[in-house]
Amino acid sequence: MQRFETYLHNNLPKVDTFHPHYNKALSSMLLAGGKRFRPMLLLSVVEAYEPLLFEAALAPALALEFLHTYSLIHDDLPAMDDAPLRRGFETLHVTYDDATAILSGDALNTEAFYRIAKAPLRNDIKIKLVELLAKDGGMYGMVLGQSIDLHFENEPLNLEEVKQLHINKTAKLIATSLLMGAVIVGLEKKKQDELYTFGIELGLLFQIQDDIIDETHSDEEAGKTTGNDEAKNSFINLIGLEQTIKEADSLATDLEKRFNHFDKALQEGLRDIVLKYLYRHR
């Protein structure tokens, strides 16, 4: 984690410009902190199998954090979730204005792919990483999920539809973080598929836990705006808090069992980060 944090601070987006706050706006949400969950998943897979590739994997890991941060900046906009707080700090549209927030998100989105393109990895690997991130972070994944989420506010979906919403909005980017690590180290297709499927379930659990946190924590405790899901198709709104906690417990238990069937190298590489988050809703 510290190596990634140092790399991030040394590689913040920055351009030579007379704009009074362009660079600060680009970096402020990155410097605000965060779990760094997605880049750490990628780096943990790389370190488990090919630690000599760790340094080369930092650029695509940073790309994941850039793309994820762009999505948060846009999610918080008045036209979307209209949230004034993120990672314990004012959101960009509050500090500056809507246009600055939109353009900062746009910049981080495209910069993510630039960083992959410049990574010290083989060209075929970089092309595959771009493909994976664009697919699950874009119109086939995260953007689709956000579109469904916004369109169906105040219009209840069924449980399967809610799961599909959150698989797209949240889980696919988490799954592709594991898959990108697997691609960098050249894992066989079967293992790649196994990791991706595990990541989808892990990402779904992550979203269920976020729904629980939104219901049970204050803004200060969560570091972001909570109690803002009244119109949303959250698990809490659909099945209630008690049943949502049971759903999280069941999914976490199943994921822990599956994790224990991974090979020794992968278990050792992922143990700290995966087990840290499996039961964070408790």
pLDDT tens digits, 134-172: 999 999 999 999 999 999 999 999 999 999 999 999 999
Question: What is the predicted pLDDT for the residue at 40?
Answer: 97
Q: Which helix (H) or strand (E) holds 89?
A: strand 89-90
What confidence tens digit (pLDDT) does each residue in 78-103 have? 999 999 999 889 999 999 999 999 99
pTM of the model: 0.94
Task: Name the token pair of 46.
Answer: 């790389």
Predicted confidence band of residue 226 (pLDDT cuts 50, 70, 90): low
As to burial, measured by CB atoms within 10 angstroms (0-12 exposed, 13-18 middle, 19+ buried), residue 142 is: buried
**How far is residue 282's CA from residue 274's CA, in Å, rounded to a whole number?**
15
Does domain 2-278 correspond to CATH entry 2.40.50.140?
A: no
H-type alpha helices, 118-234: 123-137, 142-151, 159-166, 172-185, 189-216, 219-222
Coil/strand/helix, residue 237: helix
Indicate the domain borders of the chain.
2-278
Residue 252, pLDDT above cutoff 60: yes
Query: pLDDT by residue (tens digit) across 60-77?
Result: 999 999 999 999 999 999
281 pLDDT band, cuts 50/70/90, is confident
Q: Length of the chain, please? A: 282
- Here the tokens at position 8 are 């991030």
User: pLDDT confidence of 223, banded at 50, 70, 90?
Assistant: low
Mean pLDDT of 209-223: 78
Helices 172-185 and 142-151 pack at an angle, to 10 degrees, of 180
Nearest 10 degrees: CA dihedral of 158, 160, 164, 170?
Answer: 90
> Whole-angstrom Cα distance, residue 18 to residue 163?
46
Average pLDDT, integer, range 256-274: 95
- Rounded to the nearest 10 degrees, the angle between the axes of helix 159-166 and helix 235-259 is 60
Confidence of residue 214 (pLDDT cuts 50, 70, 90): confident
Q: Which amino acid is at 222?
A: A
Q: How much is the average pLDDT of 119-148?
A: 98
Q: Cα(224)–Cα(190) distance, rounded to whole angstroms?
A: 38
Return the DSSP state at 79.
Answer: T
* pLDDT tier at 222, thresholds 50, 70, 90: low
The mean pLDDT value for 198-221 works out to: 88
Measured at the alpha carbon of residue 121, what is the angle toward residues 115 and 123, in degrees to the nearest 5? 90
For residues 60 and 184, the answer to whether their CB atoms sit within 8 Å is yes
